[in-house]
Structure 1
Amino acid sequence: MATVPSVDALNSGVRLHHLAALDVKGPDAETFLQGQTSAQVSLADGRFAPLTCFCTPKGRMLANAQLMKVGAEHYRLLLSASLLELLTAHLKKFAAFYRAELVPLPALPLIGIGDNAQALADNLSLTLPGAPGTQAANPQASVLCYPGDTPRWLFCMEDDSDVSALDDEAGRAAWQLADIRSGLAWLTEAQQDHFLPQMLNWEALGGISFKKGCYTGQEVVARAHFRGQVKKRLVRAELPTTTPPGVGASILSDAGKAVGEVVHSAMTETGKVELLAVMNTKVIDEATPIHLEEVPLTLLELPYAIERLDPEQLAMGVVN
C-alpha cells in the first residue's frame, strides 16, 4: 500500500532519495550550459535558481532540473535520480569541447524540510531564502526555497554526517504531494524523450527563456510556442482510490479512447490520490468525462495560469 504523507515528518526533515545532483564546474561551465539548456544561465547568480530543461534536437525533454549556482564557476543541477546517469552521459558528448567538468553526485544528501528549516539554516550559517526559486549557499551547504501552500526548503549538504536518521517515507510522500499540488512535474527515465517542455507547463513555470540564443532543441520549442502547436498540457487531478497509478498509466474517455497519461501520483492525507498527467487540451477545454482503470478522474485547479512566464521577469521579481 502507498505511503500516507505526513507533514509533521517533513517538518523534521527527510532525505529526498528520488532526486539527485549533477555539478558542472570549470571556466567554461556557464558557456557550456548556455548552449544546452533552456535557461538563461546568467540568471543563476547564487540568489535565483531558474528551472530548466535539456532537450533532443526534436525538442523532446531528456531531463528537467533546477539550476543553482553554488560557487565561482560551479553550477548544480537538481533532477530526478533516475536521469542522473543518462543526462551525464548525454552532456559529456558536448563537454569535451569546453573547460567544464561534469560531476554526478548520486549520494549527495538532499534534505527536504518544512517548518524547522530556519533552525537548520542557522546551524549551517545560511540565510534562509524566502521566495520559491531563490537560494543561498556556503561551503557547508546550499538551500533552495520550493513552491507550495506549505513552506518548504531543499538543503544540499556537502557533508554526509548526521543525516542518516532522516530516511522517512511519510515525510518524502508529503514532499512529493506538495510538488503535485504545486503543478511541478519532474521527468523520470520512464518518460524521457517523450514530451515537449510545454506539455509539462514548463514555460508557465518560468522554465524556458525565449530571449536567449540557441540551445539544443530551441527551434522546435520556440516554434511550438509561437505557432500554438501544443495540443497536450499538464493537469492536476484527483482519483477516489487508495492505489496510486503508475507512471504512464492511460487516462481514457468514456468512449475508451486514450486522452492522457499519468506523470506522477501520490496519496493524500485523506486516503485519496492526487496526480499530474499530460492530457489532450481538447478534452480539458470540453470537460469531457475521463477515468483511469474505470475510476472517474476529477480535474483540479493548478496554482498558476497556463501562460508564458519569462524567467528574466521572474528573476527580477524574486530577488529585488
Structure 2
Amino acid sequence: MNWQDISAITALDFTSGRITHLAPQSAQADWAQGFFTTLGDMAVFSASCDDAASFLHGQLSNDVERLPQGPVRRAAYCTAKGRMITSFSYWKNSDTIYLQCDANQQPAVQKRLQMFVLRSKVKLASLAESLIPLGLGGEKAEALLTTYFATLPAIGEHVHDAANGMLLRHEDAGAVARYQWLVPAEQFAAVWQTLKNALVLSNSSDWYLGDILSGVSRVVAATQELFVPQMINFELTGGVNFRKGCYPGQEIVARSQYLGKLKRRSFLASVAATGLQAGQELFNPASPEQPCGHVVNVELLNAGESLLLAEMTMADAEQGDIRVGTADGPALQFRELPYVIHDITRTPE
C-alpha cells in the first residue's frame, strides 16, 4: 500500500506521508488526552537469515550481535570518514531484525547495505508498503491500544504482535506518552476508522516535537553526510557503542571521542519563524561570512514559532546570538536539553 492508496482511504492529501494541513495542536488539552497522526516520512526494512546480526554489527555504530528481543536501539550508518549517512532505530524478534530510517533514504540505504552482503547469509527486504507508521499519544490512545495489544511497551521498548503489527514506545512529549504503531497494510482502513472515531487527528509535527524536546536527533536526506554522530549528540541518546568492533567510520568516531577533537554539538532552541527545513544553515552575526552550523531537525511549535535541534560549535552556542538562514535572520532562543552536554576538549572545573 502506497501513500496514494492511503490518501484514498483517509480522504486526506499527504505531503511525504505527513499530515500538514491542520493547525498545531500540541498545546491543546484534547490533544494531550488522545491524538493520532501519520508518520509516513519513516520507513522500515528487515534483515533476516543466519548472518543478519553479524553483518549489521559490522556496519552500524551500535551493538547488534547482542541485541535482545524487546529494546529499541539507535545506530548511525556512517561513511568511511565517520559522517552519518542515516540514523536508524532497530529492534528484533526471534528471527528478524527491523531497521527504520528516513523514508526518502530507505531505498538507497538498503541498496548500499546490500552491496556489502557479498557471501553473508543475509536477506534485506523493504516493508515500506506493508507496514504503515502511525503516531499516537495520550491516555485515550493508550486505552485504545490495549484493545489491540496485550501489553504496552515501556520507553525504548517494543511489542511485536503478528496479528496487529508492531508497537514502539517513544520518549514522552512532556507528560504525554507517545507510541508508534506499524500497522499491517491490510488492517489500515479499519484501524484508521477506529482511531478517527476515538482520537483527535493531528499534524505529524505535533508528534515529532516529542523527539526534539527529548534531544533525539535523526538524519534525513537533507542532512546526509553532514554530521559525525557526536555532533548531533547521538552517543548521548544511545546511538554509539564505543566498545563494539569496527564499522565504517569507527576510527573517526572514536578519535573524536577520545582525542578531544570534537567541538561541535547540537542544542535545543525555538525560533519565531515557520517554514524552516532540516539542513538549513545557521549564522553567527559576529562572523557572517560563513555558516556556523545547521538545523538538524525542526518542527512547527505553533502558528508563528518552530522548535529545532541546531548543530554548531560550542563556542558559537556560548556566544548566544545565532540566526537562521542569514546573519540577520530570525534569532534562536536556546532552551535546556534533558541531558548534559560538555566540551570534551576542556578540563572540568
Coarse TM-score class (shorter-chain normalised): 0.7 to 0.9
| Residues 2/171 of structure 1: CA separation in 2 closer, same or farther (3 Å cut) | closer
- Structure-2 residue corresponding to 1:259: 292
Cα distance in 1 between the residues matched to 2:23 and 2:264: 30
Match status 1:5 vs 2:27: no
Please report the TM-score for the alignment, with normalisation by the length of structure 1. 0.87
| Residues 4/233 of structure 1: CA separation in 2 closer, same or farther (3 Å cut) | farther
Which letter does structure 1 place at the counterpart of 2:46? Answer: D
Which letter does structure 2 place at the counterpart of 1:142? Answer: M
- Structure-2 residue corresponding to 1:240: 272
| Cα contact 1:30–1:73 (8 A) shared by 2 | no
Which letter does structure 1 place at the counterpart of 2:123? Answer: E
Q: Specify the SS of the correspondent of 1:137.
A: strand
Q: CA deviation at 1:239?
A: 0.7
Match status 1:298 vs 2:333: yes
Cα distance in 1 between the residues matched to 2:242 and 2:65: 14
Which letter does structure 2 place at the counterpart of 1:246? Answer: Q
Q: How many residues are matched?
A: 304
Percent pairwise identity: 29
Deviations 1:30-86 (CA, angstroms, capped at 9, x unpaired): 1111111111114532211111111111111111011111x2220111111111011
Deviations 1:240-291 (CA, angstroms, capped at 9, x unpaired): 23x231222221112324211112212214631111111111112x333122
- Structure-2 residue corresponding to 1:178: 210
| Cα contact 2:52–2:122 (8 A) shared by 1 | yes
Tell me which of the two structures has the higher relative contact order, counting C-alpha pairs closer than 8 angstroms and 6 or more residues apart: 1
Match status 1:72 vs 2:98: no
Cα distance in 1 between the residues matched to 2:82 and 2:294: 19
CA radius of gyration, larger in: 2
| Residues 136/43 of structure 1: CA separation in 2 closer, same or farther (3 Å cut) | farther
Q: Specify the SS of the correspondent of 2:61.
A: coil
Q: CA deviation at 1:226?
A: 0.6
Q: Specify the SS of the correspondent of 1:176.
A: helix
Cα distance in 2 between the residues matched to 1:2 and 1:117: 22
| Cα contact 2:222–2:278 (8 A) shared by 1 | yes
Please report the TM-score for the alignment, with normalisation by the length of structure 2. 0.81
Structure 2, gaps ≥5 residues long: 1-19, 344-349
Cα distance in 1 between the residues matched to 2:252 and 2:304: 41
1:280 to 294, 301, 313: 313
| Cα contact 1:249–1:261 (8 A) shared by 2 | yes
2:301 to 268, 273, 285: 268
Match status 1:249 vs 2:273: no
Cα distance in 2 between the residues matched to 1:160 and 1:194: 38
| Cα contact 1:126–1:137 (8 A) shared by 2 | no
Structure 1, gaps ≥5 residues long: 309-320
Q: RMSD of aligned C-alpha atoms? A: 2.3
Q: Specify the SS of the correspondent of 2:204.
A: helix
1:214 to 246, 253, 258: 246
